[in-house]
């Protein structure tokens, strides 16, 4: 199982040079993948274009770029430009975004997300391969091609949680990236659903979870529950928490001492997920301690 770390606003606000430093340290420690979140912080693709060339050897992924705000021709050009900048180490994670944010902040439609995403991928993936498209669909019109020498088409993963999105991910993408999805839901829902839809291929399944190395487990969970209370109300995440049979995001947090965290990581491994995307959370001191421990696990 590949062990990656998450960087960006999921860990709290940080200057771009600090995120770059964190990615450099992860690369030096042998972490498999640096996943940069998008959210309301730094732009994920631009962050990777800036930080990636300074951190050789590590895979670089977005987790995830919301597709509604970017026409597929625009996203394909941006992704391939980053791909060139980082020496073809990019994995492109995309998603529909949180519907409430997409509609409120951008005034964009959020109905039929799986149908929109299916059409989006039918345009995006040929463009990433350098192929011409002449598409006139219900949601997108795209005519043209990109000729960007020296770039390889990046792998494409979807933020897919529900059955319809997992079906699209299995059929048209290379896998899925989850967040705040516990081991029970991974093993009983996510892994079998995307595997069935993949038609015999082996999908990549990236399980994203917060982690904190601490002796004050109850206090950390209480703090996390307060900080991520709104996330627990987002319908997409709420559905996964309900499947898991837990009250909120704090209940799927990986927290405890070194031995406890190793056991919890093993439980996620046993679900059939192929990757871990671990986000050290907490105070700067807690994050630093957690990062140092996870680096030993990853290395």
pLDDT in tens, 284-297: 999 999 999 999 99
The answer to whether 145 and 76 have CB atoms below 8 angstroms apart is: no
Please compute, for residue 47, the number of CA atoms within 13 A of its CA located in the half-sphere on the CB side: 31
pTM of the model: 0.96
Per-residue pLDDT of 70-99, as tens digits, reads 999 999 999 999 999 999 999 999 999 887
Q: What is the pLDDT of residue 143?
A: 99
Q: Is the pLDDT of residue 175 over 90?
A: yes
State which residues form the domain around 98.
2-298
Q: Rounded mean pLDDT of 48-52?
A: 98
* Residue 199 CB partners (closer than 8 Å, separation 6+): 170, 171
Number of domains the chain contains: 1
Per-residue pLDDT of 118-174, as tens digits, reads 999 999 999 999 999 999 999 999 999 999 999 999 999 999 999 999 999 999 999
Q: What is the pLDDT of residue 216?
A: 94
The CATH number of the domain holding residue 164 is: 3.20.20.30
């Amino acid at each position: 199982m590949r062990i990656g770390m998450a960087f960006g606003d999921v860990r709290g606000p940080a200057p771009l040079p600090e995120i770059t430093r964190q990615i450099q340290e992860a690369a030096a420690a042998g972490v498999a993948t640096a996943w940069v979140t998008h959210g309301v912080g730094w732009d994920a693709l631009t962050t990777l274009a800036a930080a990636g060339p300074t951190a050789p050897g590590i895979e670089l992924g977005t987790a995830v770029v919301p597709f509604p705000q970017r026409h597929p021709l625009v996203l394909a050009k941006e992704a391939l430009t980053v791909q060139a900048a980082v020496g073809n180490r990019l994995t492109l994670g995309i998603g529909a975004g949180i519907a409430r944010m997409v509609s409120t902040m951008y005034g964009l439609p959020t109905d039929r997300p799986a149908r929109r995403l299916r059409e989006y991928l039918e345009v995006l993936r040929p463009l990433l391969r350098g192929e011409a498209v002449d598409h006139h669909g219900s949601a997108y019109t795209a005519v043209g091609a990109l000729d960007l020498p020296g770039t390889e088409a990046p792998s494409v993963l979807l933020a897919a949680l529900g059955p319809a999105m997992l079906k699209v991910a299995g059929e048209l993408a290379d896998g899925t990236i989850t967040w705040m999805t516990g081991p029970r839901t991974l093993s009983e829902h996510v892994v079998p659903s995307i595997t069935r839809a993949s038609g015999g291929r082996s999908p990549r399944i990236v399980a994203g979870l917060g982690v904190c190395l601490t002796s004050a487990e109850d206090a950390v969970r209480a703090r996390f529950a307060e900080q991520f209370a709104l996330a627990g109300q987002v319908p997409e995440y709420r559905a996964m928490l309900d499947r898991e049979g837990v009250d909120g995001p704090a209940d799927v947090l990986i927290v405890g001492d070194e031995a406890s965290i190793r056991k919890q990581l093993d439980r996620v491994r046993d679900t059939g997920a192929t990757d871990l995307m671990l986000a050290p959370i907490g105070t700067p001191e807690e994050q630093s301690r957690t990062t140092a421990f996870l680096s030993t696990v990853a290395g």
